[in-house]
A and B are shown apart, each in its own frame.
Chain A
């Protein structure tokens, strides 16, 4: 049995576009659930999606617990042994309060990769496979969120390239979620049920394409 940790924000949590924080897609509809079904019985899929999660930043408004870096270590250790860690973060780092360019968000993704490599939660105390997923770009119309995310849609379109550069230089897997899904126009930055299904299927194919030798 292989294990994969899906580490993300509201779009991994399954928050419904245009809904309240309490509106969440069901376990089978969320992309980790779809991916689990696609991968089949050989895989244990662990969901770790928190709405508002950033890569490395304490959120002065939503709280320090939104910091993806501080939670990553206990999270990895809780779920070890992990064969694969998929990280899809970055959108929340683009909030105006953080004032960060896309390249800094990518650097922060790099931090998470280094942390995983240091902690070695993989088989035999080694480094697991790591896959950076760039989130789908935000739409230009982000409704009542325009001030919180001022300037973010433009930056969000640069994330895929910046993340790929980091993935290349750290030699980890990379997937651009924007190549298969778009955000829902209801709020402009969450993905809907259909997108969860597409993303889950696409990521299952990416996971398989890594190539996994037969387990002893």
Chain B
């Protein structure tokens, strides 16, 4: 029996010297732990990583070195404190990995390319073509291909995958063009086959909540109630960083569709409502009445939930302008003392950005 100490070495994770992401399909738990921690906090030292993960200094050293070689994390400038040795902060390297996120709404499809820290590198909106009934129209595939082509060639190996956020809400699905549901089911396979990257699928509201937890205002929140203001109002409960995803969750008709109806009653144009990244003009009385109704619904959702879990934080995510979301949060806070309501800061496409987070979380993070 040979002394197993001197069997051929079995490195924990020596980085592949080729450029691009390591081919290892399953990353070690400890490595994911370190990456997840870095996603939550920028500029932390190896000592802090050790303290917060319980890993030994030597294990942290090995993991940090291989992640650095792989280009997933980067060292900052050494900081000289007044006492003690200089400390070297570590952060995720934004250029370390990229991902494509797609969200399919009832009116349009959004495609984003984000970097490793969730910054949007490119963004495209495609109207849903009612003419293309039987196929996911070629425009859709070309939008994904275009997002990828926008990235310099040598970075293509750094694309972690494609995330797809699909609607699950019965009412919103009814609004989508005919036979869309069947087409959605085939999307994962079609995109994987035609574009050639792994595709990860999630419910769109859950994806949006995941986006805020990963890249947005909820990074430091372990428990919160998540609201998504889209055509309707949706919610998800997040406890201990875990998003509860239930099929058949109810949504409420107090969303942007409702506002649209109010505005139409006044005989005004509503196209601005569905634009991305544009400010809304003031819609006057209609908007005030809608906001009151919306906040009322949020209040009763929170009140109902409070019977079971103490909830102190609420996050409101939407593609609607930030100013609108902040006004809603202010009104909610006034109506419910003790509740802190925060407007999400993933503007434009929270669902698509959240979808882009899926390949990162399945390939690099712990649950």
Contacts and interface: CB of A to CB of B under 8 A. Distances in A.
Interface of A: 39-40, 42, 106-107, 110-111, 114, 129-130, 161, 164-174, 205, 208-213
B58 A168 contact: no
A209 B65 CA distance: 11
Nearest to A209: B88
B6 A165 contact: no
Given A174-B61, A208-B85, A211-B47, A168 B11 contact: yes
6 contacts: A111-B6, A165-B14, A169-B12, A170-B9, A174-B62, A209-B46
Contact of A210 (B5, B48, B61): B61
Contact of B9 (A107, A114, A205, A212): A107
Contact of A211 (B6, B10, B57, B66): B57
B297 interface: no
Nearest to A114: B5
A168 B9 CA distance: 9
B86 interface: yes
Nearest to A166: B9
Nearest to B50: A211
A2 to B, nearest CB: 11
A165 B11 contact: yes
Interface string B119-134: 0000000000000000
B50 to A, nearest CB: 6
B330 interface: no
Given A39-B85, A168-B11, A171-B62, A213 B47 contact: yes
Contacts of B10: 169
B12 A211 contact: no
Contacts of A42: 85
Given A165-B14, A171-B59, A172-B58, A208 B86 contact: yes
Counting from the closest, the 9 A-B pairs by CB-CB distance are A211-B47, A168-B11, A169-B9, A208-B85, A173-B61, A211-B46, A169-B11, A165-B11, A168-B12
A168 B66 contact: yes
B266 interface: no
Nearest to B56: A171
A114 B6 CA distance: 10
B14, B45, B46, B57: most-surrounded residue (chain A CB, <10 A): B57
B13 interface: yes
B9 A165 contact: yes
A164 B6 contact: no
Contacts of A168: 9, 11-14, 62, 66
Contacts of B12: 168-169, 171
B288 interface: no
B65 to A, nearest CB: 7
A1 B65 CA distance: 27
Given A167-B62, A172-B58, A110 B6 contact: yes
A107 B14 contact: no
B78 interface: yes
B46 A210 contact: yes
A212 B60 CA distance: 13
Given A168-B11, A168-B12, 9 more contacts: A42-B85, A168-B13, A171-B12, A171-B59, A172-B61, A172-B62, A205-B78, A211-B50, A212-B47
Contacts of A129: 57-58
A89 to B, nearest CB: 17
Interface in B18-69: 45-48, 50-51, 56-62, 65-66
Contacts of A210: 46-47, 57, 61
Nearest to A162: B9
A173 B58 contact: yes
Contacts of B60: 211
Contacts of A39: 85
Contacts of A165: 9, 11, 14
Given A169-B9, A208-B86, A212-B47, A164 B14 contact: yes
Contacts of B48: 211
Nearest to A164: B14
A164 B17 CA distance: 12
B45 A211 contact: yes
Among B14, B17, B45, B61, which residue has the most Cβ atoms of chain A within 10 A?
Answer: B61
A110 B6 CA distance: 8
A12 to B, nearest CB: 21
Interface in B318-360: none
B53 to A, nearest CB: 12
Nearest to A39: B85
A17 B88 CA distance: 34
A169 B51 CA distance: 22
Contacts of B9: 106-107, 110, 165-166, 168-170
B70 to A, nearest CB: 13
Contacts of A107: 6, 9
Q: Which of A129, A169, A173, A174 has the most CB of B within 10 A?
A: A169
